[in-house]
Structure 1
């Protein structure tokens, strides 16, 4: 449909001009794999990646096994039911674990799947329409810092599921976070990058005056609570000594 009506899609920019994320294109890629190979996308991934890499807890959710995946929840803890879009794959629908994703990451870095030159193309920034540290390569987001450091990553979200997959190329480090109860905290694991090198200014150094005041008040309140707790413990100890 999209290919046949391409001329009607007037808001599409020429190649290498503007970044625009589109889930539909990834769904089309999955259909293309099925067309070329003659087998289903879930079966293709299982035969060519999941089984050989022993990613035993990774699968593509299909309408035939709708209850195979762990349910997801909103921020209140309410389970989110499946709908018809849950069985569209290519743009999502691969369920995995942190251990299995690490196996995939090690394979991706091995040079057995893609050459170093191909990976370098994927990790090259092409989206320069807006100034700043954020950019996009070939299927990978990236942050480019003034000190020359680069974080390669891709976050994910669907219903109550959050994920963060972060690669620190210089240190050969990968950070993986998966969550099935919605929280944006999942995306903050990028701050762990500073454990391995000086990537960016810590959050506390970037805060404005009002935030710093709030943090100071929090520390003051915390100190008061700790002093009160210590006082209670001390009083309890004195009481125990007298009882003895």
Structure 2
């Protein structure tokens, strides 16, 4: 290959990346100017960051500005980490996906005993979602309290494996299974088995220890009134992180550094229901799969936080959006626009 030809290719790639950066920047600034975007966003193409910025306030009251190292509550994005914890234990032979709740929690009502770990992972357990209990969800709510609440329920929503129904309760139980088998707190396990190996230095589980989080983006509603995260459950949520740490996580999932790829692929498989149909959820990931796409993604929303991660596995495209202004932003219009830009030649 001649030097001139190589230089031409490098120039073309540089111009293309610059063009995509500019298009994404115009898109995000447009939402920001309308008062819809307040947060941090990172976009990568084939493992290379093409856009990385933060706009707005980490604290509207104290007028503290956001930067790209700001730490946000992830809400339900946390579920992919809980699922990975379970997969790591399965890889070590400490559990099997067909293990049932009766094995780990015989004290729970008998109607829960046939629910499998797989059912918990892919939301086919039939367990009621504790967020539907208005009297339960209050500041300081813990996993132990959710467990006690579940023990007082009288039935499932449906037979395990027959339907898909999103249940935060199931992921609280998965966190408790991790603690039971690892003999560590959920926060310790996540730190030692995932966050530290991946050098996710600004990622942690926020639980009853109430660790002080530096450079934290406080939660506000769409009208910029304080609406900060206040409960202490984990497994279904509970994790704080940054766009850069989540990008480390995204890239690690391609490398096999935590788990071998054949086992990881099961997380990206749609759950097969008893009637032969499939849901669109795997192990901690929503799944988008057709002739053109194979992508996994997840959204999160609680109090003033909205979060989003999208991983186009075929093209190695990544979009990470973390916000702290309630429902001011609609995630999918932003994500769809960015995906269109990334796919342009």
Normalising by the residue count of structure 1, what TM-score does the alignment of the two structures yield?
A: 0.69
Partners of 1:171 and 1:196 within 8 A in 2: no
Which of 89, 92, 105 is the equivalent residue of 2:234? 89
Structure number with greater Rg is 1
Partners of 1:128 and 1:135 within 8 A in 2: no
Partners of 1:152 and 1:167 within 8 A in 2: yes
Q: 1:81 to 1:180 in 2, by over 3 A?
A: closer
Q: Where do residues 72-151 of structure 1 align in structure 2 (5 Å cutoff)?
A: 72-83=219-230, 86-126=231-271, 135-145=280-290, 147-151=291-295
Partners of 1:98 and 1:177 within 8 A in 2: yes
Give the CA deviation at 1:39: 1.5
1:177 aligns with 2:281: no
1:11 aligns with 2:115: no
For CA contacts below 8 A with separation 6 or more, give which structure has more relative contact order. 2
Give the CA deviation at 1:76: 0.5
Q: Where do residues 1-244 of structure 1 align in structure 2 (5 Å cutoff)?
A: 4-7=108-111, 8-15=154-161, 17-65=162-210, 68=213, 69-83=216-230, 86-126=231-271, 135-145=280-290, 147-183=291-327, 184-191=329-336, 192-197=338-343
CA RMSD after TM alignment = 2.7
Q: In the aligned structure 2, how far is the partner of 1:45 from the partner of 1:118?
A: 19
Q: For residues 154-194 of structure 1, give each alpha carbon's deviation from its aligned partner in whole angstroms, at most 9, with x where no partner exists.
A: 00111111110100011111110001111342343321222
Partners of 1:156 and 1:162 within 8 A in 2: yes
SS of the counterpart of 2:335? helix
Partners of 1:160 and 1:182 within 8 A in 2: yes
Normalising by the residue count of structure 2, what TM-score does the alignment of the two structures yield?
A: 0.50
Partners of 1:168 and 1:193 within 8 A in 2: no
Partners of 2:295 and 2:314 within 8 A in 1: no
Q: In the aligned structure 2, how far is the partner of 1:120 from the partner of 1:48?
A: 19
SS of the counterpart of 1:95? strand
Partners of 1:164 and 1:186 within 8 A in 2: yes
Q: In the aligned structure 1, how far is the partner of 2:106 from the partner of 2:221?
A: 33
Q: Mark the runs of 5 or more structure 1 residues left unpaired by the alignment.
A: 199-244
Q: In the aligned structure 1, how far is the partner of 2:107 from the partner of 2:317?
A: 40
Q: In the aligned structure 2, how far is the partner of 1:195 from the partner of 1:82?
A: 33
SS of the counterpart of 1:73? coil
SS of the counterpart of 2:159? coil
Q: In the aligned structure 1, how far is the partner of 2:263 from the partner of 2:248?
A: 20
SS of the counterpart of 1:45? helix
Q: In the aligned structure 1, how far is the partner of 2:106 from the partner of 2:325?
A: 34
